[in-house]
Amino acid sequence: MIFLETSLDIPFDLDLLEQAALAALTHQSADGDLTIVLADDEQLHRLNRDFLGIDAPTDVLSFPASETDPETGAAYLGDILLSIPRADAQARSAGHPLVDECRLLVVHGVLHLLGHDHAEADEKARMWKAQGEILEGLGVRINVDR
């Protein structure tokens, strides 16, 4: 199950973000619950500073949880937060729709929840390959090499 939380007016069907998350989980042969929070730059800047020590806004943050719901036994993978204003700016700069940028960021966030990273070149190559395959399966044709 995927929980979407937002207080922002989003100009596309939020089910598309759930589909992106489910596609990433399926691609990685993973299962579990997660939360996607659509936020503003200020919230992500604050979280980036407080939890990662980086005093700057960012487009997506992932907070892995690795917990189990005691009632259902379902794995809770964690939370993904997207900055909609930053995603919008990046989409405009790259010349593609906001929804596609958000789907990229959701896929990216899910991969982080599942243990992927891009700190080293070989890790980045694996993660970017997975992102590309997932997005291609969703029919999203954008450059993921940024």
Domain membership of residue 146 (yes or no) is no
User: CA dihedral defined by 34, 38, 41, 44, rounded to 10 degrees?
Assistant: -10
Domain membership of residue 145 (yes or no) is no
Domain membership of residue 131 (yes or no) is yes
Edge-to-edge strand order for the sheet containing 75-83? Answer: 2-6, 33-39, 75-83, 60-68
Compare 135 and 3 and report the one with higher pLDDT: 135
Q: Would you state the pLDDT for residue 4?
A: 65
Q: How large is the average pLDDT for residues 129-135?
A: 96
Domain membership of residue 92 (yes or no) is yes
Domain membership of residue 42 (yes or no) is yes
Domain membership of residue 94 (yes or no) is yes
Average of per-residue pLDDT values in the chain: 92
Q: How far apart are CA 102 and CA 106, in angstroms?
A: 6
Compare 46 and 70 and report the one with higher pLDDT: 46
Q: Would you state the pLDDT for residue 70?
A: 86
Max Cα–Cα distance, the chain, nearest Å: 45
Short-list 91, 80, 76, CA closest to 5: 80
Residue in the block written with tokens 């070989």: 122
Indicate which CATH number applies to the domain containing 111. Answer: 3.40.390.30
Domain membership of residue 115 (yes or no) is yes
Number of structural domains (the chain) is 1
pLDDT single digits (tens) 93-113: 999 999 999 999 999 999 999
Domain membership of residue 144 (yes or no) is no
Q: Would you state the pLDDT for residue 26?
A: 97
Q: Which domain holds residue 124?
A: 2-138
